[in-house]
Structure 1
Amino acid sequence: MTRTDHFHDPKAPQPNSIVIAVSTFVLDEDERLLMIRRTDNDLYGLPGGRHELGETMTETAIRETKEETGIAVEVTSLVGIFSNPDHVLSYDDGEVRQEFSICFRARAVGGSARTSDESSEVIWVPRGELGTRDIHPSIRLRIDHGFRGGEAPPYYT
């Protein structure tokens, strides 16, 4: 399935669904950020995905990170809540989803990097090299807040 991200685009299709999702901001001991190259839009992003019934939000973050990257994590704090109605995701099956994502900060506790059906690349990116990656502005916002650390988590509408 392919996905197109629309951000502040007056020609974007109207959303017909909303899904609770998570993303995970993980730094290694060298302050490199864990990122994936998504298979649905070919952009670099944070690991994450859809919340499933019966899970806590932190369980979703742990599961999705492991599924997409092979890295086991422990959630340590909240980066922020992102629910911008001007960011919609359109899929080739007709779904047009309004963004609603909770971004968690986590630390790696095991595993080894590997790709999945949702990730064509799993990499640890030094902060100074983030500008060389094709990253959607909504993900870049999460990354920027993740690096800010001790601030109160933002809530973006």
Structure 2
Amino acid sequence: MGRRIDYHHDSNAPAANSVRPSAGAFVRRGETVLLICRSDNGNWSMPGGAHDPGESLSHTAIRETIEETGVEVRLTGLVGVFTDPHHVIHYTSNDEVRQEFTIVYRAEPLAGQPTPSSESTRVEWVPITRIPELPMDSSQRKRIDWALTRTEPHIDPTSS
């Protein structure tokens, strides 16, 4: 399995060679948030992944959450649009370097128990108070912080 390496405003980052829409789900249950520990880099994140042809982006968020966590969700709103051109993700398995393009939805759990998958080594309902101590990419931290502290959707600035 390859690794995922995130670069943020890094002059040594490889140039993006693709843009692929992705969707994530911020799933909150009381004072906990559903998070995965990624198998490709060991960082914690919200469930999510790349958009597939033939599905809506909202379906992507639901599908990826079920695949990565075993938890079925219902989307309830929008956390925001995250498309920073200075954040690129290098997938070493195929040398793809994607520019960030993620829509994060708010969601509530419907059924299922947290269960790891091939993309996650751990899946947990993490207490909000514990999130700051978890190893996490800054893009995930930004998205989670926004979801926890704001009600209006995040929209990227128009200038780079």
TM-score by length of 1: 0.95
Instruction: Tell me the equivalent position of 1:6.
Output: 7
**In the alignment, does 2:124 pair up with 1:133?**
no
Q: Which amino acid aligns with 1:110?
A: A
Map of 1:110 onto structure 2: 111
Give ranges in structure 2 of 5+ residues lacking alignment: none
The equivalent of 2:68 in structure 1 is 68
1:98-155 deviations in Å (ceiling 9; x for gaps): 00000000000001110001001001111111111001111111101111242x2111
Shift of residue 60 of structure 1? 0.7
| TM-score, L = length of structure 2 | 0.94
> How far, CA to CA, are the matches of 1:106 and 1:129 in structure 2?
20
Structure 1: 5+ residue runs without aligned partners? none
Instruction: Report whether the alignment pairs 1:51 with 2:57.
Output: no
Give the partner amino acid of 1:91.
Y
Alignment-mate amino acid for residue 80 of structure 1: G
**Residue correspondences, number:** 155
Separation of aligned partners in 1, 2:37 and 2:156? 24
Q: Runs of at least 4 residues of structure 1 off by over 2 A?
A: none
Percent identity of the aligned residues?
Answer: 42
Kindly provide the amino acid, as one letter, of the partner of residue 114 in structure 1: T
Whole-Å separation in 2 of the counterparts to 1:140 and 1:46: 10
Matches within 5 A, 1:72-151: 72-92=72-92, 93-150=94-151
Query: What RMSD, in angstroms, separates the aligned Cα atoms of the two structures?
Result: 1.0
* Structure 2: distance between partners of 1:118 and 1:128: 25
